[in-house]
Structure formats: structure tokens, C-alpha cells
Homo-oligomer: A and B are copies of this chain.
């Protein structure tokens, strides 16, 4: 039977439906929301599914209202699932003190530190959610409730969510048909955002970070899965690029060593915003559709 989902909103969009659901997450021990866009094709047949992971401060809604992705999802006949970016309302001390740590900043990892380890388990939530009744994983929650194809899924994201997408892809070879990212945090162990998050969630011992396997550059060094093209768009006018938060060059170096085809497009004049995402999301959805529709 399907997991218990509550439909929060359902709105027709490009002949399909943009919906928001809430559910109780056993993994995160709190109520969570996610968005799903169901393209018109899903009324007649099962469709592939894209997982979109958002950046710092976002909820399940930012991508849904601002990226303009529904048009392309309708064109290609793919569903898009948009999870929230952290647990909410867990009453952890310090949870709401920063915009780049705690609420809205779950970093798609499973925390190991005492205050955070009970709720902050976004990695498991995204990749192997256990629903509170049926013990099924998130892809299974999605598959049990919506007309999506089993084993036809890909993942992408923005900034912190780009980091999340790369990590989920690299840690689970074959699980996702393809991966792409907008301005991802490529090497969190070496940038201020990542160091703050890893210190708080994983502890101050940097040697442990590598063992915990949440850094795309480290994971790429050990990666031996399918060598699919990785598409990354990065704005050249992105303040966080110049601030050293994103470090795409570090990923380029490792990919070259491993002979993994990375298509890093440096986009002239673009910043870190949803205007940047909207401008290129069509290319990303086409990229994933190519892999998802290959038999």
C-alpha cells in the first residue's frame, strides 16, 4: 500500500500537475514537504523521474515557482520531485541561528554529532527514505504513489543541492541514470560553507570527513561506476564562485585524472540566482531525458 501522503496543493501547469505533498518522515523524525510535477504523459503511462535538490535557505517551493522547469518536463515527459532542504521545527538548539547551517541547510548528509544525528539525515531521506508505515524508500514512496517508472531516475541540483546531487550520484553507482548541477559546491571540505557544515554535523576532526564520504571531489577519486557525461553550468559572475565556495576547478582536475567526462560550462555574465537556473534548466532536462529514455 502507498505511504500516507497529504496533498497540500495541486495546480494544473503545462497540461500536467504541479503538486505539493506533506508526509511524516521516520528518517528525519518530523513532517516534511516535497513537490512533484507530473507531466501530461503521466496520465497515460509511467514516466521517468528527476530529483531536484535545492540550495541553502530554500524549501520545496523555490524551484517549483521560479525555475520554469515544468515546460521542459512536459516537453520531455519526465516527472520532477523537489524535496525540502532540511528537517523543520525539530527544536534543536542553534537550529535557526544561521542561514547556512541548520534549518534550510541540511547539506544532504547524515549527521553524526549528538545534537543533529537524530533529525539531520537528509542523505538517507533522499536516497533511502523509510516511510513511517510501509518501510519503503523515497524512490519507493514516489513509485508507490505516482505513475513513475522504476529504475528510471536521475538527479540534479543547485549550489548545496548540486553538492547533494553529485554525492548521491557518486555514492550509488547505477542508481541514477545521470547527474547535473548548477553552481555546485564541488569540494565542501575546502570551502567555508562546507567546513562549517561538516564541522557542525560531522564533528571537528577533518580526517573523519573523508571517511564519511560527502565530498564530491573525494568521491570522484574512488568512483568506478558508469562514466556518463556530467553536466555542470557555472555563472562567471557568481559571487560565491569568486568567494571560493564552489571550487569547480578542483572537480575538473579529479574528473580528468579519472577520465570521467565532465562538461563544465562557464556561463558569461550569469550569477547564482534562479534567473541563471531558468536560463539553462531546459538544457539540463534535455540532458537527463537522453539518459532516462535510453533503453
Using CB atoms and an 8 Å cutoff, list the residues of chain A in contact with chain B: 11-15, 18, 65-66, 68, 70-71, 235, 237, 269-271, 273-276, 278-279, 282
Q: Which of B12, B269, B279 contacts A275 (CB 8 A)?
A: B12
A36–chain B nearest beta-carbon distance, Å: 14
Is A275 within 8 A of B68, CB to CB? no
Q: Which of B12, B235, B270, B282 interacts with A270 by CB under 8 Å? A: B12
Bound together, the chains give a CA A279 to CA B235 distance in angstroms of: 27
- Residues on B with C-beta less than 8 A from A271 are 11-12
Residues of B within 8 A of A235 (CB): 12
Bound complex: CA A66 to CA B63 (Å): 10
Closest to A68 in B: B68
Q: Is the CB of A15 within 8 A of B66?
A: no
Q: Please determine whether B66 and A278 come into contact, CB atoms closer than 8 angstroms.
A: no
Chain B residues within 8 Å of A65, by CB: 65-66, 274
Q: Is the CB of A14 within 8 A of B278?
A: yes
> Which residues of B sit under 8 angstroms from A276, Cβ to Cβ?
11-13
Which B-chain residue is minimally distant from A18 (CB atoms)? B275
